[in-house]
Chain A
Amino acid sequence: MALQTQLVDGQQALDAQERALNFMEQGMFAKVINYSKAAQNQNAATANEAVLQDVPIGQQPKPLHLEALDVNGDATQIINQQLKAGKTVIFHDIAFVTGKEQMVLGFR
């Protein structure tokens, strides 16, 4: 299935970014397979880039849930909590949250 990329404003708080990703997934009939800070340029100093893959209509996966921690933080606890809740890790990478770099994890 086709891949597309879309920038998300990294100045937003994590919950706003989570809504943005879920909005894109539902509207574009796609799923986010990666999310990280975008290559910096004048237009995107603190932008994050989502990579989306098309999904067949009717096979939309569950909504995404984002968690964030310090860049050098330990994600073990967060991952264990989400695994207990029946979710799996979709991506984990450095992205901007309220304009600052953080480790962002995506679960569904």
Chain B
Amino acid sequence: MRLRVGVVSSCLQVLAMTMLLPLLTGCLGRFERPAVPKVVAPPDKTGSYTLDNYKSDLKDYDAATTDADKVRLRNKMVYGIMAEIDYVFYDYETKLYLNQGTFKVGGDFLELGLSSASTITNGARAKTVLSGILSGVSGVDLSIDKNFFRQQTVQAIASSMEANRDRLKNVILQQLKQDSTSYPFAAARADLIRYFFAGTLPSGLQQLHQQAAATAQTQQNHLNQTQLAGVTQADVDCVTGVNNAVASAKQKGDFTTVIKFLNAMGFPIDTNLPKDKIETNVDTSIRELGGKIVTDETLRKKYCEQAKATQLVQ
């Protein structure tokens, strides 16, 4: 009895496996995403905005004589193209997540980033209307340090791309409220190109890079904001003396001593330049130096010493 139960159980397992295998392989084939419903992306491209649709609409748009017709056709083209861009973007984003392990390896992922514009347009859809609006447009130049790229996660880049796209989509949708004179299709096309490239790796990276740079700058500004303290009356007298001496030199048109002082402080002035240029350079340098002594006590001390040593002040 036990043996029979065991045989039946084994048979059931084999049967189950045999029945599940095609399903499993089918699932593996669709692992990156669920199958796109045929009504969304029919094989015969019904409902898609094709290059032929675009050409036809563009011709009608150019021939349209009323603003109402132009606006209608412009909006139709914009929404159609936008849908195609969205489709290829989300398709691309899915692949980006699936391949993120490869990215971390280094080496070839950078090439993927650099050629992302072509990567994103590789799909059959992209060769339709997108090739129409993107003809003659090159991708975004990527001038980002490789190390910076390697430090980014796919999630961060994707979020950056999404944010960029959302921002531009909002701009386009707002602009569609305008008439065809204020926002002609040519302007919409330019915005759509920007919208498309906002969803590329270089754009996502560039945005991240700019954010990182802005954050660093803010932090630098906070560091620079040393709280001024410990200023003595002698310090005030010293800078007042320099201020008066520079004003006097300007009135006389003779900056010789001021230039000597600035040279001693590491702000060389080229005396071979025309007089007005020298005056401008002195003005810029003395202000810049003044800004530095506010936060740098050592420089403040040297400032007063050199002002005396160069006989700018007594």
User: Which residues in A have some Cβ–Cβ distance to B below 8 Å?
Assistant: 4-12, 16, 19-20, 22-24, 26-29, 41, 43-44, 47, 54, 57-58, 60
Contact = CB atoms under 8 A, between A and B. Distances in A.
B246 A24 contact: no
A41 B228 CA distance: 16
Chain B facing A: main interface SS: helix
Contacts, number: 80
Interface residues of B, number: 29
B228 A57 contact: no
B272 interface: no
B240 A20 contact: no
A83 to B, nearest CB: 25
Interface string B272-314: 0000000000010011001101110000000100000000000
Contacts of B229: 8-9, 11-12, 16, 20
A22 B236 contact: yes
A36 B140 CA distance: 45
B239 to A, nearest CB: 4
B25 interface: no
A97 to B, nearest CB: 13
Interface in B226-252: 226-233, 235-236, 239-240, 242-243, 246-247, 250-251
Q: Which 5 A-B pairs have the closest CB atoms?
A: A9-B229, A27-B290, A58-B247, A26-B239, A9-B227
Contacts of B286: 29, 57
B233 to A, nearest CB: 6
Given A23-B239, A29-B243, A43 B225 contact: yes
Among A10, A11, A23, A29, the one with the most B-chain Cβ atoms within 10 Å of its Cβ is A23
A44 B229 CA distance: 13
